[in-house]
Chains A and B, each alone.
Chain A
Amino acid sequence: MNDDTPEILPPKLDLPALDKNVFEFRALKNSFLTVFVWVIGILASVPLFSVIFMLIVEGGSRLDLEAVTAIPPAGFETGGGFGNAILGTLIMVAIASAISIPIGIFAALYLSILEPSSKVATISRFLSKVLTGFPSILAGVFVYAVIVITTGTYSAWAGGVALAVLMLPTVTLAAEEAMRQVPQKMKDAAYGMGCTKTQVIFKIVLPTALPGILTGVILAVAGAAGESAPLLFTALFSNYYMSELAEPTASLSILIYNFSGMPFENQIELAWSASLVLVFLVLFFNILARVVGRSKFRD
């Protein structure tokens, strides 16, 4: 035996030092930052509550049947409302949806199922992402140049098309994402039974991805309803109920913009009420989208 082998001793543990000491610098820093991040979280939710509080207090007081049906007051008039603006917003969002939703869903089918890695799909997907970050006012400028100058008049059509330009990439990307979530096994099973690609799409992919697609579509609609920049010089504004689609059309957001800068108490009150209606509309769509999206996981 070799006596030189050093004896292996267990390391000496200083047990009290291993206890957590709340007054140590590291621990103090830790609790300080935790408090700090809580403060950030709470501070960030203040604007939402402040906005909603102001809307209910300022806008709620004026919200009655007259406000949602009458036409906007002029100058020093009292009373009045924004019925034509509600109608105009709904009609233009409907036009935008009718254009962008079918094109968006078919484009998404191409991007996710038909030719996911073709050149057209890659470029198209990339440009959709670029378009979602596109300043919305540029859609207005573009439609002004293409439609308003050509037809010679501001119109609900032009407003709808401008909104459609903004909705298209959102719908496409959301629908593509939803279709990608459809399990490959389901598609393979259908192909195995001799289905054509078209049959697989209409009988398997679309029904399965439907909740996801709907969520995306509804969110796009909500976004379009709140947009104002693209409507500024495509639909312009009107003080009367619309009689046809080819004339300047009122919308809630432009009414808020116009009235917010006016020196008249009545108009400012109406701007708050119109904001309340607009936010209610947008939040309704948002919550609807959440409910529809959630049902996806229940099945």
Chain B
Amino acid sequence: MVYDPFKESSSSRTLSAPPSSADYLKDSLFRFFAYFCALSIIILVAYIVIELGIQAYPAMEKHGLGFITGTTWDTNQGIFSVLPEIWGTVYSSLIALFIGGFFGIGIAIFLTQSFVHAKLELTFRTIIELLAAIPSVVYGLWGIYVLIPLLRPVADWLHETMGWFPLFGTELSGPGLAPAALVLAIMILPTVAAISADAFRRIPYRVKEAAYGMGATKWEVILKVMLPTASSGILAGLVLGFGRALGETMALAMLIGNVNEISISLFAPANTLASLLASTFPEAGQLEIQALMYAALVLLAITFIVNVAGLAVQQYTMRKFEGKK
């Protein structure tokens, strides 16, 4: 075939041609689809709330607010109320928050304030991130066969020597609040550590430099300058970690003992809203399912409030350091 230099440019569709109507159609179709996908997230959340509301409505009508203040869950008599579960959820999450928060902030300081060489820092960071990747059921299994046998002698000793102290008021007879809260602490530690470390990294280097320049020791810089400056970011990490702990299900269902009692003792079995759902739902009858839907709605409301509070604090921190409006 003979080469024709004019063939290319004589084609009706060259580079400089304006977009054809097919191009316009494709463009607007694509935009519409993307818009629809973004909208679908909003629809999904609304659908979840409405659907749970509809399913729980019969139970809400029947039990009213007594559902939140009563303490019995009796399938045979048809009395359902969740105060022990709410107590267990909040109590176990608070203990987890104390332990996990303490360790999480410690790790964040450890990793961001140049205590370790960059390579070792990466190793530690990976370890903490992998801690978050281990599935909840595996932690549950580990809790049953490693943590509980390990805790038992300690718990028995504490109960015998300091049994008068309400926190150690009962014996640890297998599953209970202490192993559940410890596993929860391990599970929220990565969340707290990651968000706190982020807060430390946002602090401009000259803030630290200025403090060193005045002769402060490393820890004076950390405790008196870095921690207060990063405090709102750390608070966001703690609140979001607390939100995680509130909704955690499987490990707790395996470790907390599923007993509907309110006890201050660390070694008593308890129950949480999420593990109540996990352990009761599969065998529940219609009336009980309605009550469980109500419990799910209560859980949704609690976690929603905590998460929104955490996100609001995080947003505030970002604005503070980046001048975003």
Interface residues of A (CB under 8 A from B): 26-27, 29-30, 33-34, 36-38, 40-41, 43-45, 47-48, 50-51, 54-55, 58, 102-104, 106-107, 109-111, 114-115, 120-121, 123-124, 126-131, 133-138, 140-142, 144-146, 165, 168-169, 172, 196-198, 201, 222-223, 225-229, 232-233, 236, 253, 256-257, 260-261, 268, 271-272, 275, 278-279, 282-283, 286, 290
B residues near A131, Cβ cutoff 8 Å: 41, 44-45
**9 A-B residue pairings within 8 Å (CB atoms):** A37-B109, A41-B116, A44-B193, A107-B40, A137-B249, A137-B277, A141-B281, A141-B293, A286-B133
Do A257 and B130 touch (CB < 8 A)?
no
A residues near B300, Cβ cutoff 8 Å: 134-135, 138
7 pairs of A and B residues whose beta carbons are closest in the complex: A135-B247, A226-B135, A40-B106, A106-B37, A110-B38, A229-B249, A107-B37
Which of these, B30, B52, B220, contacts A145 with CB under 8 Å? B52
Do A256 and B107 touch (CB < 8 A)?
no
Interface residues of B (CB under 8 A from A): 19, 23, 26-27, 30-31, 33-42, 44-45, 47-48, 51-52, 54-55, 103, 106-107, 109-111, 115-116, 124, 126-131, 133-142, 144-146, 186, 189, 193, 217-220, 222, 240, 243-244, 246-250, 253-254, 274, 277-278, 281-282, 292-293, 296, 299-300, 303-304, 306-308, 310-311
Interface of chain A: mostly helix, strand, loop or mixed: helix
B residues near A40, Cβ cutoff 8 Å: 103, 106-107, 110
Do A114 and B135 touch (CB < 8 A)?
no
Do A126 and B135 touch (CB < 8 A)?
no
Do A41 and B107 touch (CB < 8 A)?
yes
Which of B19, B54, B282, B296 has the largest count of A CB atoms less than 10 A from its CB?
A: B296
Do B107 and A229 touch (CB < 8 A)?
no
- The complex places the Cα of A123 from the Cα of B40 at a distance, in Å, of 11
Do A229 and B278 touch (CB < 8 A)?
yes
Q: How far is the CB of B53 from chain A (nearest CB, A)?
A: 10
Q: How far is the CB of B130 from chain A (nearest CB, A)?
A: 6
A residues near B189, Cβ cutoff 8 Å: 44
Q: How far is the CB of B198 from chain A (nearest CB, A)?
A: 13
Q: Beyond A114-B35, A124-B42, A229-B274, is A37–B106 a contact (Cβ under 8 Å)?
A: yes
Interface of chain B: mostly helix, strand, loop or mixed: helix
- The complex places the Cα of A198 from the Cα of B33 at a distance, in Å, of 12
Q: How far is the CB of B106 from chain A (nearest CB, A)?
A: 4
> Considering only CB atoms, which chain A residue lies closest to B190 in the complex?
A44
Which of these, A222, A257, A278, A286, contacts B140 with CB under 8 Å? A257
Do B41 and A45 touch (CB < 8 A)?
no
- The complex places the Cα of A37 from the Cα of B107 at a distance, in Å, of 7
B residues near A197, Cβ cutoff 8 Å: 27, 31
Do A283 and B130 touch (CB < 8 A)?
yes
> Considering only CB atoms, which chain A residue lies closest to B113 in the complex?
A37
